[in-house]
Structure 1
Amino acid sequence: MPNNFTSDNNKGATGAAKFVTSTLGNTVGGLSRTVGGVTGAATRGIGDTITGATGSAGRPVGDGLGNIGSGIEDGAKRVARGVEDAGAWRK
């Protein structure tokens, strides 16, 4: 009697599901990176502007905003990587 179950995980419904989730994962991951990068850069730019306009008096606020921007960007990169890994069925 033939065995209809195969150990190849890229056939049939599983293969189709992997294709769809991989495509979605890469799309959402790319968008997350883009949004995080733009938001991070904009926030750092605002921080630099505040520091430049106010000098040493505004430096703590400007540096704080710059650090927030870097944190947002780093967090978005981590989320993007997690989404892409999930889409590729990686642990």
Structure 2
Amino acid sequence: MNNNDNKSSGVTGAGKAVTSTLGNTVGGLANTVGGVVGAASRGIGETVTGITGDVGKPLGEGVANIGTGVEQGAGSVAQGVKDAGEWKTSK
């Protein structure tokens, strides 16, 4: 029997199933948290800009950009966790 044909059987298959589920769960939570932080920061930034006008616009845009950066970073981390859970290797 060729062991290469059975890479997803037995203990390895069970390990992949557990890590895939865990990776998808953690990745999904990271996406959710990142999305909430990003949306909240953009909302706060828009509020600052709306209240202060042109004077506070740089601050409002900065807060919004920080939130977008956090959201994008969380998305990258989430994808990495999901990939690790599926035992994917770097390209």
* TM-score of the superposed pair, with normalisation by structure 2: 0.93
Give the equivalent residue in structure 2 for 1:19: 17
Partner residue of 1:49? 47
Task: State the partner residue of 1:81.
Answer: 79
Unpaired runs of at least 5, structure 1: none
Structure 1 residue 59 corresponds to structure 2 residue 57: yes
Number of matched pairs: 88
- AA aligned to 2:62 is G
* SS of residue matched to 2:50: helix
Instruction: Work out the CA distance in 1 between the residues paired with 2:62 and 2:32.
Output: 22
Cα RMSD of the aligned pairs, angstroms, is 1.0
- Whole-angstrom CA distance in 1 between matches of 2:7 and 2:43: 47
Write the distance in 1 (CA, Å) between the matches of 2:55 and 2:40: 21
Query: What is the CA–CA distance in structure 2 between the aligned matches of 1:9 and 1:41, rounded to whole Å?
Result: 42
Matched, 1:6 2:23: no
* Identical residues among aligned pairs (%): 60
SS in 1 for 2:54: helix
TM-score, length-scaled by structure 1: 0.93
2:86 maps to amino acid? A
State the AA in 2 paired with 1:70. Answer: T
Code of the residue aligned with 1:87 in structure 2: it is G
**Larger Rg over CA atoms:** 1
